[in-house]
Amino acid sequence: MRRALALLIALAWVGAAGSASRAHTAGPRPAVDAVPRGPSLEERLGEIQRRIEGALVYPPIERKRGVEGETVVAFQIDGGGRAKAIELARSSGHPLLDRAATRAVADAAPLPYVYGRLEVPVRFELGPAR
């Protein structure tokens, strides 16, 4: 969980810095948060990750088959807290897991606003047998 959150934060910072550096040719600049008040960027990214995990449904067929994987989903958040322009940044190699990941992003609304395009890893892991 911490690894995924750290990766999410790193990707968000890279995405924000990348969009800022396209406007200036002097080189990359540190990311500037577009929301000056309220929860920090780190807190909002953590909340986004939690909401996506909360909306995630492990496909029963893949669970039964013991399939695990990680999908990276890219998207932006609109002013109403909905994910838009959702697409796969990296496939897990399992179409059912990929569809479940993109569905979870869409179903996780409302999301806290973060400026720019995010790439969020969505992990499918089977826990120990009970």
The answer to whether 59 touches 100, Cβ cutoff 8 Å, is: yes
Long-range contacts of 59-63 (CB under 8 A, 24+ apart): 59/96, 59/97, 59/99, 59/100, 61/96, 62/94, 62/96, 62/97, 62/124, 63/126
Would the pLDDT of 89 be above 80? yes
Instruction: Give the class (CATH, top level) of 2-124.
Output: alpha beta
Question: Sheet holding 69-77: strands in order across?
Answer: 83-90, 69-77, 118-124
**Across residues 90-103, what is the average pLDDT?**
98
| Residues 47-77: b if buried by 16+ CB within 10 A, e if exposed | ebbebbeeebebbeebeeeebebbbbbbbbb
pTM above 0.95, yes or no: no
Ordered by start, the domain boundaries in the chain are 2-124
Query: What are the tens digits of pLDDT across the range 33-82?
Result: 666 678 999 999 999 999 999 999 999 999 999 999 999 999 999 999 99
- Look at residues 121, 51, 49 and name the one whose alpha carbon lies nearest to residue 88: 121
> pLDDT confidence of 31, banded at 50, 70, 90?
low
